[in-house]
């Protein structure tokens, strides 16, 4: 009366174990990919945190004054500090170790920073 062909329990158990093994491997690979991604984005995340901190804000104001309110890229005046960007002179990729090095930072127009490509500081 049973429509399903009988599958021996041993066979079923083995299938289950094999599936479980595949799942474990897949999870391992996913974790590796996640680790890679986190490593890649960590410098930017750290920089963003610093930029939004009191220290970062103060640094930006000071740097702005030091630069005589001039954008080092186009040499024109930055009229509004609020819309300006902190540019990494040497880009985060591949210079991730310079992410929080203020010697590697300058205040620029948002547009000038973007025109350097792939950067959105």
Chain residues in the site for Zn ion (CB under 5 A): 71, 73-74, 109, 112
CB of 108 to Zn ion, least distance (A): 5
Of residues 100 and 110, the one with the C-beta less far from Zn ion: 110
Tell me the two tokens of residue 110: 């948002």
CB of 64 to Zn ion, least distance (A): 13
CA distance 17 to 118: 46
CA distance 120 to 2: 64
What are the residues whose beta carbons fall under 8 Å from the beta carbon of 97, sequence distance 6 or more?
A: 43
- Residue facing Zn ion at closest CB distance: 71
Of residues 100 and 116, the one with the C-beta less far from Zn ion: 116
């Amino acid at each position: 009366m049973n429509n399903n062909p009988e599958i021996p329990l041993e066979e079923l158990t083995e299938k289950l174990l094999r599936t479980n093994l595949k799942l474990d491997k897949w999870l391992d690979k996913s974790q590796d990919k996640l680790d890679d991604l986190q490593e890649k984005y960590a410098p930017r995340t750290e920089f963003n945190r610093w930029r939004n901190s009191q220290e970062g804000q103060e640094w930006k104001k000071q740097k702005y004054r030091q630069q005589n309110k001039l954008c080092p890229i186009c040499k024109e005046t930055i009229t509004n500090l609020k819309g300006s960007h902190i540019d990494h002179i040497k880009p985060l990729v591949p210079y991730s170790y310079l992410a929080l090095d203020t010697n590697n930072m300058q205040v620029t127009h948002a547009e000038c920073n973007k025109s350097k490509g792939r950067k959105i500081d």
